[in-house]
Chains A and B, each alone.
Chain A
Amino acid sequence: DIQMTQSPSSVSASVGDRVTITCRASQGLSSWLAWYQQKPGKAPKLLIYGASILQRGVPSRFSGSGSGTDFTLTISSLQPEDFATYYCQQGNSFPFTFGPGTKVDIK
């Protein structure tokens, strides 16, 4: 199985800050990586797939990059509604696996 790790596990940031989250896979994924945002008590929301393709309706302050084993999610200017937990997920092979999550909270 492909193992996914994320760093940091949590980050405290202010509105307007640039936030970067890293995801690493135990095997190469090409560009088959997705990012999700989850708020407490809610279902996850797809932000990015194919490592860098923005899902329809997602604000352009979110961007993704990377290929192979190392990937990054960047929020260019943090907004109040962006405080949430973010997960990466490999879509390369079964079993699909998620990273442990990165919680973004208010500094």
Chain B
Amino acid sequence: EVQLVESGGGLVQPGGSLRLSCAASGFTFSTSEMSWVRQAPGKGLEWISYISSGGSSKKYADSVTGRFTISRDNAKNSLYLQMDTLRAEDAAVYYCAREISGTMGDAFDIWGQGTLVTVSS
């Protein structure tokens, strides 16, 4: 079964850190481009970070640049998001998603179930 499973969410104080993980199965993770997308409570979707299949290319939204770091371990079929200096506005459900890219543009065809991050003192 094709699947992405996030973990690592929870309650953290403002200024704190959290590391999210995403375990992939059922497809060839090592050749897949991946992203993190978040959704604040009651709000829309926000793309926040991308990583190429080999990990050499990384992109970030302005809202998280300098605070969040995306990485991957293809040997472990895992994607990560290190989140530092967390702010109240980072509170959201965080999804990992597989990206399909090519001549028809980039889209996200496989999504995890999401992990909730709460930032509060």
How far apart are the CA atoms of A97 and B108 in the complex, in Å? 12
Closest-CB distance, B102 to chain A (whole angstroms): 9
Contact A87 B105 (CB under 8 A): no
Interface size class of B (residues with CB under 8 A): 20 to 34
User: How many Å lie between the Cα of A55 and that of B50 in the bound state?
Assistant: 22
Q: Is the CB of A91 within 8 A of B113?
A: no
The number of residues on chain A lying at the interface, defined by a beta carbon within 8 Å of a beta carbon of chain B, is 31
A49 B104 Cβ-Cβ under 8 A: yes
Closest to B101 in A: A91
Residues of B with Cβ closer than 8 Å to A?
35, 37, 44-47, 50, 59-62, 95, 100-101, 103-109, 111-114
Is A50 a contact of B62 with CB atoms below 8 Å?
Answer: no
Assess A49 versus B105: contact at CB under 8 Å? Given A98-B45, A100-B44: yes
Chain A binding surface SS class: loop
Given A43-B95, A95-B61, are A34 and B108 also a contact pair (CB < 8 Å)?
yes
Interface residues of A (CB under 8 A from B): 1, 29-34, 36, 38, 43-46, 49-51, 53, 55, 87, 89-92, 94-101
**Measured between alpha carbons, how far is A96 from B107 in the docked complex, in Å?**
9
Whether the pair B112, A43 counts as a contact (CB closer than 8 A) is yes
